[in-house]
Chain A
Amino acid sequence: AQSVTQLGSHVSVSEGALVLLRCNYSSSVPPYLFWYVQYPNQGLQLLLKYTTGATLVKGINGFEAEFKKSETSFHLTKPSAHMSDAAEYFCAFRLLGGYNKLIFGAGTRLAVHP
């Protein structure tokens, strides 16, 4: 079955530390991959996406992710966490030919402490 797994429902880092949020997908063909962020009482904001081409993708707010087909992974990183990064992060994929249906992971809540 096609699915997305986000390892760690909660991640806590210190301000200035590396942020690493893990995402693995299960699909027989490489999908389109996305990371979204959700702040309290808000909708989802697109951070970055991978469709084709370069496997290292840069997004907004200093985030980037690398698509690794051999590992079926699309982990999200940021070199230095900021207090404003505290939010919930969702990894999602869309199959080619799947129109706009997104399959989401369960989400990872990121806490950033001083």
Chain B
Amino acid sequence: KAGVTQTPRYLIKTRGQQVTLSCSPISGHRSVSWYQQTPGQGLQFLFEYFSETQRNKGNFPGRFSGRQFSNSRSEMNVSTLELGDSALYLCASGDSNTDTQYFGPGTRLTVL
């Protein structure tokens, strides 16, 4: 099976702009979770989608949002970008049968 795909791999934006990141999970997986990784805060859970419904959410402001499509692909959106949003954004594909999550390579977002 193909692994988790995230696009784009790198992004550079300026403050105030918005950005959309995409994640395609492993075929057959219906759960997609998003994490933010920064040197200062480490790995933090953003939210999880399962069968097009958000079923868990971390402590991030409303500028961070997401959605999931019927084919399980997920997008996350960050509006009104701030310098502190610069991070590696990781997507994880969840296997309900084994309670295991598999991570994609991440999208490196730089906000200038």
**A42 sits at the interface (CB 8 A):** yes
Closest residue on chain A to residue B33 by CB atoms: A100
Q: Is the CB of A100 within 8 A of B105?
A: no
Whether A102 touches B4, Cβ cut-off 8 Å, given contacts A43-B90, A90-B43, A107-B42, is: no
Contacts of A18 in B (CB 8 A): none
Contacts of A46 in B (CB 8 A): 100-102
Closest residue on chain A to residue B104 by CB atoms: A43
How many chain B residues have a CB neighbour from A under 8 Å?
25
Q: How many Å from the CB of A110 to the closest CB on chain B? A: 16
Whether A36 touches B103, Cβ cut-off 8 Å, given contacts A99-B50, A99-B56, is: yes
Closest residue on chain B to residue A99 by CB atoms: B56
In the bound assembly, the distance between CA atoms of A43 and B34 in angstroms comes to 12
Cross-interface CB contact of A103 among B6, B45, B105, cutoff 8 Å: B45
Closest residue on chain A to residue B31 by CB atoms: A100
Contacts of A36 in B (CB 8 A): 103
**B48 sits at the interface (CB 8 A):** yes
**B66 sits at the interface (CB 8 A):** no
Contact residues of B between 20 and 49, Cβ < 8 Å to A = 31, 33, 35, 42-45, 48
Contacts of A106 in B (CB 8 A): 42
Cross-interface CB contact of A32 among B4, B56, B58, B99, cutoff 8 Å: B99
**A72 sits at the interface (CB 8 A):** no
In the bound assembly, the distance between CA atoms of A102 and B101 in angstroms comes to 9
Q: Is the CB of B43 within 8 A of A51?
A: no
In the bound assembly, the distance between CA atoms of A98 and B6 in angstroms comes to 24
Contacts of B92 in A (CB 8 A): 44, 100, 102
In the bound assembly, the distance between CA atoms of A102 and B56 in angstroms comes to 11
Contact residues of A between 73 and 114, Cβ < 8 Å to B = 90, 92, 94, 98-107
Residue ranges of B at the interface with A (Cβ–Cβ < 8 Å): 4, 6, 31, 33, 35, 42-45, 48, 50, 55-56, 58, 90, 92, 94, 99-106
The 7 closest A-B pairs by CB, nearest first: A104-B43, A43-B103, A44-B103, A100-B94, A43-B105, A99-B56, A101-B56
